[in-house]
Every structure is written in structure tokens, then in C-alpha cells.
Amino acid sequence: MESRKENSGIRISLSNEEALVLLDWLTRFNESENTFQDQAEERVLFDLESILEQKMSDTFSDNYSAVLQKARDKINELK
């Protein structure tokens, strides 16, 4: 994962594995009963989930669970 500050905001670069794991978590988080201090927090998380969904085709794979587990394992190996 990389990040850098630009004049128009902050750019974050994720590996495919990081993006998939983050998308899975965001989906579960956004579907559960959560308390936000402000509606802007909820909007940012929904927007991030939407951006990742548009980029990640793995979520529609027949073997999504296996692909997700492989991504988690790869990230865990980096520790």
C-alpha cells in the first residue's frame, strides 16, 4: 500500500489483494448496524465501496471465497 499527497487530495494505491480484502470488509461493515457520528462518514465508506466494486471483478467469481482467502493469506505472509 502506498500513499501520497497531491494538490487535489490524497492518492492511495492498493494491491489487488489489499483492495479485495478492504472491499469485503467494507461490504460487511456497510451492511451491518453501525453508528456514525456524522452522515459524511457513512457517505465516504459507501463511496469507497462503490469505487472498489467498479474495479474488482473477483467479487462476482464463482470461487470468491477461495480468491478472498488467497488474498488474505498473501497479505498475512507480508507481516
pLDDT one digit per residue (tens) for the chain, 79 residues? 766 777 788 888 999 999 999 999 998 888 888 788 999 999 999 999 999 999 988 777 889 999 999 999 999 998 6
Q: Report yes or no on 6 lying in a domain.
A: no
Please tell me whether residue 18 adopts helix, strand or coil conformation. helix
Total number of domains constituting the chain: 1
Q: Is residue 5 part of a domain?
A: no
pLDDT at 50 (0 to 100): 92
Predicted TM-score (pTM) of the model is 0.82
Backbone angles phi, psi at 35, to 5 degrees: -105, 120
Closest CA to 49 of 17, 15, 20: 20
Q: Is residue 42 part of a domain?
A: yes
Residue 30 lies in a domain: yes
Three-state DSSP at 21 gives: helix
Go through the chain and tell me how many residues it has. 79
- Is there a domain that residue 48 lies in? yes
Please state, as a whole number, how many other Cβ atoms lie within 10 Å of the Cβ of residue 56.
17
Neighbours of 71 (CB within 10 A): 21
Q: Which domain covers residue 38, as residue numbers?
A: 15-77
